[in-house]
Amino acid sequence: MNERPGNGPAIEARGLVKRYGDEVVAVDGVDLSIPTNRIYGLLGPNGAGKTTMISILTTLLEPTAGEAKVVGLDVVKQASDVRQRIGVTFQEMVLDDELTGRQVLDYHGRLYRMGKAERKARTEELLALVELVQAAERQAKTYSGGMKRRLELARALMTTPEVLFLDEPTLGLDPRTRARIWDYLRDLREEGGTTLLLTTHYMDEAEELADTVGIIDRGKLVAEGLPQELIEQMGADTIHVIGDGERDEFVEKVRTLPFVQTVDVGRTVIQIGVDSGSKRLVEIISQATGSAFTVEDIRVSKPSLGDVFLKYTGRRLRDTDGNRTQHRMPLMS
Amino acid sequence: MAAAATLWSKQMRKFLANPEEMFGLMIQPILWVVLFGAGMKRMLPADMAGSEDPYVTFMLPGIVVLSALGGAIGGGSVWLTERLRGIVKGYLVAPIPRLSILMGNALSTMTKSMFQAIIVLMVGVLLGAKLNANPLGWLGGLVLVAGFGLGFSGIALAMASQTDNPGAYHAMIMVFNLPLLFLSNALYPLATMPTWMRIGSLLNPVTHTTDGLRQMMFRDPSALAGSDPLPLWLCWVAVLAFAALGMCLAYAAFRKSIN
């Protein structure tokens, strides 16, 4: 591994701001500090500022204010050194698809001034890793979406980067391909030596992969922590009740119970925050007994990152971008 | 400039894997030589139409220049496609000088244009155009065409950096095509033009490239030119200045588009 100046974090940002014109603030004062050998998941809805963050950290955009360092190097003043040390995949597919898979990797290595023997060895190693050996001599335009993504991942890994930036790495992929890509990324962490910053608007992806999750909304980092920690901070389990009849009376009675922390009355569902869901289920139901309220459906849920997101942003993390066909919805409670 | 060489090599490989692009760009110049050349031949006074084909000899240099222009337009659309598909972003995150990205494109465009120019030349020679017997002059002529190609690729790249719409790019660039051909000495001599047209033609680098090419590469250039040719040094100066101007335009537009 290359020596880096100091043994600081792999990625560090202070007061990062990106403004377009006078109106649009894409990134609004973000501080980040990501230690080496971690997978950091930047979670947020479309338009939250994730891609702008990545663009700044990968030297594509200069910040309006603040500063950022990757492996201790300033992304503006030492952009060229930063570029040498990072690997990137973009949100959209970016492939010279008239080239074969093998050529894509080889040209990438040449651009980064890798020697011929090293290029050749690394190409074969990566083709094997992403299971594209069979397809290596075919033009990339004949590849499926998942194969293209895997090729892109291999290309980003070609130069053995110290920091890997993946912008929505599994966007639009089928579940099986996603699971495979997650596997590669986990393997990469096991191997060590690589810090990974990925953006996603999928809760499950963040939960599955990230050591640390940062929730970004409207350009601000609103929460950060280990996924489990963030979820535990939510404290309560939630009991969801759907019923018919005098809801107000039922809600009033439930509110007075000592173990009830919050009561959220929605249009159809009443959400009750309690210390332990399974233990309190019966007691909640019993409140309805003898009242003009009938419980029709009741369900306990553990809080998820989705709830964490809801808490910090007041919004559900739902994909509102109608142009894209999603294969699944983000994990919701 | 290792990066420029890598990008050049990549473009060339794609080009060779995809010969349709080259043939597509060559159809137009070849039609000019074959159809326009054949049509014009009989209009010339009998004493000028000797054993060879003086009109094809006369027009071929201009059409070679036209094919270089077509190549430059192709280079601009390669750039536009790479921009729109995000491939340029891939170059921008790579540790390579910004200028090498532009150079890689311009050099590969120039190489492709040279291929096309040579093929068009060969077609013209088959149809009766006469070259002189001076291989050094041929080389000089090709360099001159390359210089013109570089200048025009600069203009094409600048335009391709400023639009996000391939249709708009082609519409914009096609505006140049015919006026540059007609307002030059490619199809008819400067001497027979009305004065206003001659002035316009003298401001058009196609004229200087064509004239230089005629003098260096073709037999008896004055037979149909009907006047003294332009001084050769002037042709060189004009073409080199045009090449430099084109590259400056491209670089300025490129810097603007990546920020």
- Indicate yes or no: CB of A112 within 8 angstroms of CB of B2: no
pLDDT for res B172:
80
* pLDDT at B224 > cutoff 80: no
Higher pLDDT, B36 or A320: B36
* pLDDT at A205 > cutoff 70: yes
pLDDT for res A243:
84
DSSP state of A57: H
Phi, psi dihedrals of residue A17, rounded to the nearest 5°: -130, 135
Q: Nearest chain A residue to B1 by CA: give it.
A: A111
Higher pLDDT, A202 or B149: B149
pLDDT for res B45:
62
Sheet holding A86-89, edge to edge: A86-89, A163-167, A195-200, A39-43, A212-217, A220-225
Q: Which of B83-92, B136-145, B170-179 is predicted with the least confidence, judged by mean pLDDT?
A: B170-179
Same domain, A215 and A254: no
Q: Which two tokens stand for residue A53?
A: 């963050």
* Residue A310: burial class (beta carbons within 10 Å; 0-12, 13-18, 19+): middle
* B19 close to A (CB below 8 A): no
Higher pLDDT, A132 or A252: A132
- Indicate yes or no: CB of A90 within 8 angstroms of CB of B86: yes
Interfacial A residues in 103-122 facing B (CB < 8 Å)? 103, 107, 110-113
* B102 close to A (CB below 8 A): no
Higher pLDDT, A51 or B49: A51
* pLDDT at B107 > cutoff 50: yes
Q: What CATH number is associated with residue A258?
A: 3.30.70.1560
Question: What distance, in Å, lies between the first and last C-alpha atoms of chain B?
Answer: 22
Using pLDDT thresholds of 50, 70 and 90, give the confidence band for residue B143. very high
Using pLDDT thresholds of 50, 70 and 90, give the confidence band for residue B225. low
pLDDT for res A331:
38
Higher pLDDT, A74 or B42: A74
| Mean model confidence pLDDT for chain B | 87
Dmax (CA) of chain A: 81
Say what the ipTM of the complex is.
Answer: 0.84
pLDDT more than 70, % of chain B = 92
pLDDT more than 90, % of chain A = 43
* B91 close to A (CB below 8 A): yes
Same domain, A19 and A117: yes
State the amino acid at position A110 in one-letter form: R
Residue A1 is assigned to a structural domain of this protein: no
pLDDT for res A319:
41
Which residues of chain A have a CB within 8 Å of the CB of B95? 80-81, 83-84, 112
Residue A314 is assigned to a structural domain of this protein: no
Closest chain B C-alpha to A248 CA, distance in angstroms: 56
- The C-alpha atoms of residue B74 and residue B110 are separated, in whole angstroms, by 10
* pLDDT at A314 > cutoff 80: no
- Indicate yes or no: CB of A83 within 8 angstroms of CB of B93: yes
Please state the three-class secondary structure of B92-110 as a single string. HCCCCCHHHHHHHHHHHHH
Contact A326, A265 (CB under 8 A): no
Choose the closest CB to B14 out of A88, A93, A98: A98
pTM: 0.81
Q: Nearest chain B residue to A155 by CA: give it.
A: B90
Choose the closest CB to B90 out of A81, A94, A139: A94
* pLDDT at A64 > cutoff 90: yes
* B122 close to A (CB below 8 A): no
- Indicate yes or no: CB of A96 within 8 angstroms of CB of B13: no
Domain that holds residue A59: 11-231
Across the strands, what pairs with A25? A19
Q: Nearest chain B residue to A152 by CA: give it.
A: B90
Count of domains in chain A?
A: 2
State the amino acid at position B112 in one-letter form: K
* pLDDT at A82 > cutoff 60: yes
* A81 close to B (CB below 8 A): yes
The alpha carbon dihedral of A241, A247, A250, A251 has a sign of positive
DSSP state of A38: -
pLDDT for res B43:
75
- Indicate yes or no: CB of B6 within 8 angstroms of CB of A107: yes
Which residues of chain A have a CB within 8 Å of the CB of B96? 111
| Mean model confidence pLDDT for chain A | 85
Choose the closest CB to A88 out of B2, B3, B93: B93
pLDDT for res B64:
93
Averaging pLDDT over each range in A66-70, A306-310, A317-321, B12-16, which range is the top one?
Answer: A66-70
* B2 close to A (CB below 8 A): yes
**What tens digit of pLDDT does each residue of A242-285 get?**
888 888 888 888 888 888 887 888 777 888 888 777 778 888 88
* A269 close to B (CB below 8 A): no
Average pLDDT for A31-54: 90
- The C-alpha atoms of residue A118 and residue A106 are separated, in whole angstroms, by 10
Q: Where are the domains of chain B?
A: 2-40+51-258
- The C-alpha atoms of residue B89 and residue A9 are separated, in whole angstroms, by 26
- Indicate yes or no: CB of B86 within 8 angstroms of CB of A88: no
Q: Give the Cβ contact number of residue B257 at 10 Å.
A: 17
Same domain, A34 and A106: yes
* A99 close to B (CB below 8 A): yes
Cα A316 to its chain centre, rounded Å, is 15
State the amino acid at position B65 in one-letter form: V
* A128 close to B (CB below 8 A): no
Q: What CATH number is associated with residue A190?
A: 3.40.50.300
Residue A324 is assigned to a structural domain of this protein: no
* pLDDT at A5 > cutoff 60: no
Which residues of chain B have a CB within 8 Å of the CB of A98? 14, 17-18
Average pLDDT for B6-19: 90
- The closest of B233, B179, B177, B184 to B206, measured between CA atoms, is B184
Give helix B135-162 / helix B232-258 axis angle, nearest 10°: 30
Q: Are strands A293-301 and A237-245 parallel, antiparallel or unpaired?
A: antiparallel
Same domain, A116 and A262: no
* pLDDT at B167 > cutoff 80: yes
State the amino acid at position A70 in one-letter form: V
pLDDT for res A326:
35
Same domain, A284 and A165: no
What torsion, rounded to 10 degrees, do the Cα atoms A7, A8, A11, A17 define?
A: -150
* pLDDT at B46 > cutoff 80: no
pLDDT for res A149:
92
Same domain, A38 and A91: yes
Contact A73, A82 (CB under 8 A): yes
* pLDDT at B163 > cutoff 50: yes
- Indicate yes or no: CB of B13 within 8 angstroms of CB of A103: yes
pLDDT for res A232:
76
- The closest of B96, B104, B101, B69 to B177, measured between CA atoms, is B69
Q: Which of A55-64, B136-145, B250-259 is predicted with the least confidence, judged by mean pLDDT?
A: B250-259
Contact A157, A148 (CB under 8 A): no
* A84 close to B (CB below 8 A): yes
- The C-alpha atoms of residue B40 and residue B56 are separated, in whole angstroms, by 9
Q: Nearest chain B residue to A95 by CA: give it.
A: B87
3 state DSSP class of B211: helix
Across the strands, what pairs with A215? A43, A223
What torsion, rounded to 10 degrees, do the Cα atoms A123, A125, A126, A130 define?
A: 140
* B16 close to A (CB below 8 A): no
**What tens digit of pLDDT does each residue of B63-91 get?**
999 999 888 988 999 999 999 999 999 99
**What tens digit of pLDDT does each residue of A104-126 get?**
999 999 999 999 999 999 999 99
Same domain, A99 and A242: no
- Indicate yes or no: CB of B92 within 8 angstroms of CB of A60: yes
Last residue of a domain, one of A231, A255, A276: A231
Which residues of chain A have a CB within 8 Å of the CB of B85? 94
Q: Which of A56-65, B230-239, B250-259 is predicted with the least confidence, judged by mean pLDDT?
A: B250-259
Contact B152, B112 (CB under 8 A): no
Same domain, A32 and A66: yes
Average pLDDT for B177-205: 89
* B3 close to A (CB below 8 A): yes
* pLDDT at A320 > cutoff 50: no
Q: Nearest chain A residue to B82 by CA: give it.
A: A96
Using pLDDT thresholds of 50, 70 and 90, give the confidence band for residue A333. very low
Q: Which residue has the tokens 């397809």?
A: A135
Q: Nearest chain B residue to A80 by CA: give it.
A: B95
Q: Give the Cβ contact number of residue A115 at 10 Å.
A: 10
Using pLDDT thresholds of 50, 70 and 90, give the confidence band for residue A309. confident
Q: Which two tokens stand for residue B227?
A: 């006047």
- Indicate yes or no: CB of B6 within 8 angstroms of CB of A98: no
Same domain, A187 and A240: no
- The C-alpha atoms of residue B245 and residue B237 are separated, in whole angstroms, by 12
Last residue of a domain, one of A231, A255, A274: A231
Average pLDDT for A156-174: 91
